[in-house]
Structure 1
Amino acid sequence: MYGFINICVKALVTEKFGEEAWIKIKTLAGVDDSFISHTTYTDQITLNLVKAASEVAGQPIPVILELFGEFFFTFCQRSGYDEMLRVLGGNLKSFLENLDALHSYLSFSYKKMEAPSFRCERRTSDGALILHYYSHRKGLHPIVVGIVRAVAREFFQSEIRMDVLDETHEEERNGKKEHVTFAIFQKKLQESIDTTSPKSDSDKTQQSESKHNKEDEDHNVRQRQALKPNNERPATLNVNSLVSLANDYGSFSPSYPEKLWLDQRMFCEYFPYHLVFDSNLRLLQSGVHIQRALPKLRTMEDTTVNALFNMLHPQIDWSVPSIRKFINMQFVLETKREMIIPGWGEEQPMLQLRGQMIWMDSLDAMLFACSPRVASLKELEERNLHLSDIPLHDITRDLILFNHQRLAEIEIGKQLEQKKEELRGALGELEAEKKKTDMLLHSMLPRQVADQLREGKKVEAGEFEMVTILFSDIVSFTNICAECRPIDIVNMLNALYTRFDKLTTVHDVYKVETIGDAYMVVGGLPIPMASHAARIANQALGMMFICKEVMSPVTREPIGIRVGIHSGPVVSGVVGEKMPRYCLFGDTVNTASRMESHGLPSRIHLSCHTHRCLQGYPFRFSERGEIVVKGKGTMRTYFLEENGGAGLDEIMGKGQSKASTPEKTDRCKSPPETPTNNMPNGVSTFHHNSTVVVPMWYPDNDMTSGSAIHISPPIFPNAGSNDSGSTHTSAGTPS
């Protein structure tokens, strides 16, 4: 099939069901969607798309095909074929009868098109329109139902019902061909109710059909009777014909000569492409240009039309009864190579004739009025023809010149489509590379800062009234480095920091840097958050648990870390042009580092400032008392023990959580091997080693600006509760 069909499938899915549905369908079908309208693709690609659409939509394949048929008609209208379709016929029957002629015309542009064929007849019992559908492709007849329904509604303001009467596979010269017979019942959309009409549905349908198709019946009667001499026509039919003609032309009635004022020689010369043969297929007459290509026609002795020509369309047997069944269709005949004039090259294409079969009852003979079937000047030359060989009255001359120009335009359009698809592919690759670059950039700088730098803006230093900073280091890291290989150190730090990085996503805190075994995290910037201390506290608790999962390469036991936390004001900014870094400045940074260096292994050491910030939250502490801190003097400090209002799974991002605000989640803090996606319920999820991580919910997730820090109400419902006999002090207890 041509790419035009696959493009239509894509347009149907994206317009009706959205871009995401199309991505699912093309992925399931295993196809790329870079289709070119005038490029051919295997039928299997289209069938795979239909099958995938059926699975994604949960609908049977016939339903999908019928929906495609309706949309295909609309798609053709939008693609520039609207006027061409509107002039095919004045009623549904004539429209369907002329579809083959339309396909024949389109075959000039789509040379490899294998279009279906249609034949119509009227059922006398109830006036139903009987449509015969022939196709080389099996199982696609539901498309016809959709197309006919759309045509009836759009062009003839009618609703139809189509019943499948028969479905067979007939043997043809080129293999099996599907033949499906439909019964079409048509009814006007705004048809007035006739009080005298029969009450049964079948009678109503019959009456409606008779009214809808009276015109085409009268037309067929007139056409048959016009071929008979006046003295052979029944008087009643003559009267009926005159009445019908009067309806069509007012008071006008045609006259016919008693004899034909044109001799045989003149007719054969000025109508050089025609054939006349009898009911036994014996040739009686032919045009002079056909005789020039087929020497046997010059004598007409015992020559049959099927001995000289192959019938390309419709693909039926050579017999007058078969031809009369398809009398309203366009016929295409091709000369047989063994009968062609000597000197015709072996590789030279055969002469094809396209035209209309007309049965003449009075002569018991068939007239084939035709013209050469050529689409361009090149094809004209390949068949040893010239424009002068085509009569001036034959529109084929103009069509060849017009189509030659059209084919050139189609080729240009095809090249433009190819360039467009190449550009689209390049843009897709560029977008993928941009995402990788953004991920790398956002792993070095906060998203807001990185976006400003990319836009060429100057990043001003920012002051933050209150943030919470965490430092951690590995216990006995120097000894570990001295006793194992460097690669073991790298693997250990990578395993540890990868887990820490993922945890920063759970609590929406910013990882500032790592230097050796030191890990620095801050909460409350670059976007100020009231819950900065609670986020860092939960981060610290999670880090302590993570350490149990990472083994020391020396002792083969879980490693230990020290954690120090302090809260206070800082100034942040980007320093340097080569490898720029987002740095924090202020005494708060130094104090947080002192909390870590003066801490104890496997403990979380807090300053009194952080302890005050955590008042109102259900964290439990143990008081360390006053200690001497280098450069700070005496300070009262605390150890963070646990979060009494949240379980370990919630802190680690493994449990169910209220939806976190996606834009506040610094997804780029995740390492490249931990891609992000969105769960259906809106919760951002992150994958690492097949583990789903759910960001923890905080009440200020929707804060976007403002540096004022307020003590928020308890996050958890049991905030402030504590056992009276506990040896720990609550954050709500005055220090």
Structure 2
Amino acid sequence: MQLQYHSDRKGLGPFVRGLVTTASTEFFRTEVIVNQISATDDGNIVFEVINKSIDPNSDAFEKVKTPFTDSSLSTSPGSLFFSVETLCEAFPFHFIFKRNFRIIEMGNSLKRFVMKDSIVVNKANKIMFSDMFIITKPIIELNFETILVFSNHLFLLTAREEYVKDKKKSNSANKIRSYTLSPERTVAHPRLLLKGQMISLPAFDSILFLGSPKIEEIEEMMQLDLTITDFPVYEANGRHIMFRAIRNNDQDVINKIDKAANHLKIVEKKLRGEIAKNHKILNEIFPAKIARILCQSIKVDAENFEAVTCLYSDIVNFTAMCSSPVMKAIDIIRLLNRLYIQFDNQTNYYGTFKVETVGDAYIVISGVPEPVEDHADRIVEMGLAMVHVTRTIFSPTDGKHIEMRIGIHSGSCMAGLSMPRYAVFGNTITLANKMEFAGPPGMVHISEATKNALKKDKYYFLYEEYHEDHLVVENNLNMSGGLFKSPTNSPIHEQKKAINRNIAMNVLNSFPSMSAQQQQQQQQQQLKAAKMGRVIKRQTGTEFTVPR
């Protein structure tokens, strides 16, 4: 057997000899001898491969050296074991043309591309080579002898548009399949290209073109309405194109899935951020219990609470302070900001709920939405703390610390959602507002109901001198700021009565220095407080009236 090898690289002949010897032994279990017969300067090398098991001097060796075609193959057309129809099916894009370039036979797939009108393109009812194809490669003249000279070259034929069907327009099935083509990958006006070789048929004075479509992308196949069956069985290009298209399509799907997954992660991250913001806003607007219920998308119904305590407060002379010519809007905002930040801290400390702030009014309630037994104690202690806070905040107009009116009342109320806040309603809330309105500056004005609702045993009460029914609850600073309760007949009570008597006398003695109008206003205020009821008083001098 002769083996022809060609390579532009020099020095690979021994490598080929060893490769053939090893392959014969490993794959065919046959030991062979590889001899180099000839070699040319352009890289062509001819090897002779001889089986070691055959004696070179025997008749069997001579039989092996006899060409297989000479001994067993026939060149007669009558010896063919298949018909012309089978040939046209096996080679769907072949055609045979005579010396005058008349096409006398073509494959089945090629017939589908030829327009019916081209069959009668001339009176002789002939289909000519030049009417259907243009030789693109090699660049030669359309001459029979010239084609035979270049028969060892690869031929590339381009079909003429006017004699080839536009399958994209004529085939509705192709329209259905072409929906997967993206606009950027669609080939405009595809033309059929055939690549193959010219084989001489001297017995018939003809040339056989044996080839297949030259396709690079699946889009070209779909636009030309080609399938894998249109390619010859020996041509793997169609299958490679399909496999590559499937792989690319799978990769596109994977990329889209990855892109969608990444986009989903981004959206999920943003969603978690928005949910966190919503939860934060809900926790700032509503009580923690209501915020948790709203986060679970559960409807919150209005509830009736039997035992709650409400506190109303406002800043004394706040309207006059805002209208002062030396007062700027930013100063008011800063003052309220410093004040309400400390009040908010107090609500967290005492476990109360800030209902709302309207201007200088600060409204707090306890016992809503979670009932507690010491709701009155929490509000009273917070009211005392708020008065203490006001002594650290100074007015920008006169440099003095601000004063607040604080009113407290206990009772029942309704509470529920009144978007966008958690609102409380009822007579208790109204009375607490009136308590604040009627209270003197710097005093925590509590009602009899609030006094009766106090649970902690750390308060003591003193009667005001000018009215026996007025009680004074005082913060004893000697007890580390704690409050305690003692009987009204204790020695401490008598001592406190004397202190209050002196305070009342000092107030009366200050009347002459006042104008008549100021004296009248203070008397009316004292009388109004006396009618309302009870007073809570700090040892520092701050008094808190408590209505009965």
Please, what TM-score do these two structures have when normalized by structure 1?
0.32
Please, what TM-score do these two structures have when normalized by structure 2?
0.42
Bigger Rg over Cα: 2
